[in-house]
Amino acid sequence: MRSIDARKPVLAALFTGFIIIGAYIVVPLPFSPVPIVLQNYFVVLAGLILGPVYGAFSVAVYLVLGIIGLPVFSAGRGGFAHFIGPTGGYLVGFLVAAPLAALIASRDSGPIRTAIAATTGMIAVYVVGVPWLASVADLPLSAAMAAGALPFIPGDAAKVVAAVVTVRWARPVLVAFENAGST
């Protein structure tokens, strides 16, 4: 009988928890309905560390928990109404960001490729989130960009650097974790 390897699902659940924690670290901005959060850092990190399937799975679980009403979205919000509100596009963008970052990066990619993958994941969130914000808030696309993307670029650049450092630190730990018990 073949044993079931639960390590990847456990890591995916752990990253779902990290994404939830990142949603609670909120810096509201007076000029935007979109706050600064750490969710996108953990979403991109999930893709970079877990790969496209389990990275997307951890994000999907997070979204389902929020949609059914658990207070896992930014500032402890939850429910379908919040999901379809002004920030809903960013949440949907998370589901694109994790697997996209994973597909660009590879298991043994260096810091430059990891940075490109993380940056692409961050951009994917905006590609979905900004038009959604414009539509829901009835804003011109330029105003949605000004309120829902441009102010966050410096912070996201710092998150990309943090993701590169985290991946370089975590990779040997994960290899050891994945090889544990495989003898």
Question: How far apart are the C-alpha atoms of 152 and 129, rounded to whole Å?
Answer: 13
- By DSSP bridging, strand 36-37 and strand 26-27 are antiparallel
What structural domains does the chain harbor? 7-171 (1.10.1760.20)
Predicted pLDDT of residue 3: 59
For residues 21 and 46, the answer to whether their CB atoms sit within 8 Å is: no
Given this model, what pLDDT does residue 36 score? 80
**DSSP string spanning 119-168?**
HHHHHHHHHHHHHHHHHHTT--HHHHHHHHTGGGHHHHHHHHHHHHHHHH
Helix (H) or strand (E) holding 72: none
Report yes or no: 168 and 160 within 8 Å, Cβ to Cβ. no
Split the chain (183 residues) into runs of 10 and give each run's mean pLDDT.
Answer: 75 97 86 81 96 97 98 92 94 98 88 97 98 97 96 92 95 74 56
- Bridge partners, residue 27, by sequence: 36
